[in-house]
Structure 1
Amino acid sequence: MIYSNLLLAGVALACAGATLSTSAGAQGDWIARLTDADVALLGEIHDNPEHHMRQAEAITSLAPTAVVFEMLTPEQAEMLSAGLPDRAEDVAELLEWNASGWPDYTMYHPVFVAANDAAIYGAALPRDQVRAAVSGDITVIFGDGADALGLHQLLEPSEQKAREAMQMSAHCDALPADMLPGMVAAQRLRDAHFSRVTLQALDETGGPVVVITGNGHARKDWGMPVYLAAAAPEVTVRTLGQFEDAPAADAPFDVTLVSSAAERPDPCLAFR
């Protein structure tokens, strides 16, 4: 349930027009603004097909040596080591995608096709670890390297409060207040783990590395860039945020794009 709610929350937050967003800017040269990166974080609203088409476009242009997927486990990534099956439905079946809780695989297929020449890495944490993070010590759950990534550091009270408020809004005001710190901790654990896998991919392939992930993980002030900078300050990171509403001018991304909104039912129905 925790894992599924994290996915639904991303959709709910995007639909709310939260302050993660920013204006589109000049869309023609957006990929060029990512080309100097060792690591390019390509954010998304998970169920928006346009966002995945842009990610595929960026991968084709950037030609990364590795692509890290938030959506895949390491075991699923290994299944693709011999190459991508020809048909989208065969990929979905191989990965057991329909049981994963992610949106329809056909949305993601262009991204996988574009990434077919790169090494594929899966960054998804086991669900029991994500659940444990809600009530446990995330540095213990993370294991070796937690301090190097800065995971042991407490958030500033203002950031903690803002993140808890965002979690409450993202979950349609349906969470008990005492659960909010744990939800923030789970998000931090995932950010740190995604960063660990990304640095592994960079070390093993030489880069550049592209990461396919939700906007919340790509944001520069709270997401993966914080942990990447702590562990490897020499690594150049660029971020893309993709949105459906005209956003705030100070959104924490290097590049932002605005698309038309995806058709979807009210995401808050899942919390009623």
Structure 2
Amino acid sequence: MSALKTTATVPEIASRNGVVRSGSRVVPEEMPIAFSYRGSTHAVMMATPADLEDFAFGFSLAEGIIVSPDDIIAVEPIEAGAGIDVQVTLRDVTAEALTARRRRMAGPVGCGLCGIESIEQASRPVPRVAASGFGLITPSDIEEAMAALGRAQLLNRETHAVHGAGFFVPGEGLIALREDVGRHNALDKLIGAVLRAGRKGEEGAVVVTSRLSVEMVQKAAILGASVLVAISAPTALAIRTAEEAGMTMIGIARGQDFEVFTGPERIVAGVASNVA
């Protein structure tokens, strides 16, 4: 399949300081992305048409379809009308488990979370994360991670309309970044990129440009990341879920400022001792 455009230039009428002018703006593309296993569609997501192999790996892990990147044999994105059908070939044993899981689902599988499974999915237990493989994280690491995330967001620099998710390893910097119109999609793509690079979640911190809802915590925990940093604030359920996972959650990270909501023990002494 040929490379898909991730942006479009559209006409606009802009008002600036009381002056109205005609012009143009670059906006991100968005289209239906279907994930199909064994020839049957499992879910359809509205997403930016980029990094689709990473998306397939990350989505499959976050959904519990696979437990290891080795469970996927091949990923083939195929143009399908106005969208893309990402066909994922699984190992036989994984495919059999998926078939059994689908039989237990209530409602149409293409809607993502729906029916009875949506309630179970929202409240599913999260895995406990291990101790960080890099030791303690420092305030300067947090500042550096968020600054690096902003610098690396080339699509957002063009459009000012997409989310970013990055994987920051202290001492190495930002080793992976993925962008998408959807914050969950950006994180799924990042998870896939980390998996395919042969890295482990415990080696670094997940940093995101969005608010922290429960799904973002669930996905980071499934990756195995013990530290999650965001530019915005978390929800109450996200905080409770991060506590359940034993994760360090840092929000409202802007410049030198940040707020710690869970797991202050992973942050250097002096910061942790000041957290109530």
TM range (shorter): under 0.3
- Bigger-Rg structure (1/2): 2
Q: Which has the higher strand share?
A: 2
Work out which structure has the larger RCO, using CA pairs closer than 8 Å and 6 or more positions apart in sequence. Answer: 1
Q: TM-score, normalised by structure 1?
A: 0.25
Whichever structure has more helix as a proportion of its residues is: 1
